[in-house]
Amino acid sequence: MSPIAPADVDDWLVIIDPQAVFADPATSPWGSPLWAQTVPRIVDLADAYGPERTIITRFVADPDLGGSWGPYYDEWPFALVPDDDELYAVVPELVGRADHVVTAPTFGKWTAELRAIVGAQPQLTLAGVSTDCCVIATALPAADDGATIRVVADACAGSTSENHDRAIGAMALFGPQIVIV
């Protein structure tokens, strides 16, 4: 079992974007080379929290967002597939481990839908992929909005080991609102 357990009854585990698109570099250019070593740690966390205190988030492309997303998808057109495409499926190891699933078309998952589940200023434990994109893009605005954040470093997978370490270092600068464990 993971050494990380819920800090208290109000602590939520948020598993950020554990999807096929991010899980395997052979499947997708967004696949993390760290995912295979990370997913067992995430499973342990999900077991410790239980499905009732676990939320899985999903990224699904939305070409209609406009602004900087237009050029982004010009560079990454492979991602412009429907929500139900296997690319956006939750990895098999985590299917059924969360009572809540939040889908968003943005890197950050600190959305109105997530806040409706956890409350305005919750305690969140974050794990998932990619440390240097969706994890940090969720942690910073949530902390800025008053949430207390724990990031489980060894339950996060970056685009590279170096980028993972950089993102963890950047988030550590925001203590005590964001604590790295």
Tell me, rounded to whole angstroms, the distance of Cα 143 from its chain centroid: 15
β-sheet with 11-16: strand ranges across: 100-104, 54-59, 11-16, 123-129, 148-157, 178-180
User: Per-residue pLDDT tens for 9-18?
Assistant: 689 999 999 9
User: Per-residue pLDDT tens for 105-154?
Assistant: 999 999 999 999 999 999 999 999 999 999 999 999 999 999 999 999 99
Question: Quick one: tokens of 88?
Answer: 């956006």
Within a domain: 1: no
How would DSSP label each residue in 80-142?
A: ---TTSGGGSBPGGGTTS-SEEEEESSS----HHHHHHH-SS-EEEEEEE-IIIIIHHHHHHH
Within a domain: 3: no
Element (H, E) at 170: helix 161-172
Looking at every residue in the chain, the average pLDDT score rounds to 95
Within a domain: 162: yes
Is the pTM here over 0.85, yes or no?
yes
Residue 45: CATH number of its domain: 3.40.50.850
| Predicted local distance difference test score (pLDDT) of residue 27 | 87
Q: Average of pLDDT values for 174-180?
A: 97
User: Per-residue pLDDT tens for 20-63?
Assistant: 999 989 889 999 999 999 999 999 999 999 999 999 999 999 98
In total, how many domains does the chain have? 1
**pLDDT exceeds 70 at position 1:** no
Owning domain of residue 171: 11-180
